[in-house]
Amino acid sequence: MGWVFLQNIELEHGRASIGILLAPEARGQGYGAPAMKQMIDIGFKQLRLNKIYLTTRGVNEQAIRLYKKVGFVVEGELRKHAFFEGEFHNTYIMGVLASEWV
């Protein structure tokens, strides 16, 4: 079905990045949000992180909707940062803070 993970865990700075990859047939089926929420809970409650962040291509609208749904906000935009399918696309930096997590 897929996986979700925390990486680049920097306990001294209280941060980690998160990633998710779902099989094409599992996308849009409602699995992404609960999986991400569980991993974010682990990051904030067990690892006591202050921030979890990610990057995503601006053309990945389905993923951006998911990230916003679980509480991430856009913190920055890198213009024409990623080359994909023959074109350069913007990359978004998104994050959620422990103080924002309910």
Catalytic residues: 67
- Cβ atoms within 10 Å of 9's Cβ, excluding its own: 14
How many angstroms separate the CA atoms of 9 and 97, rounded?
A: 15
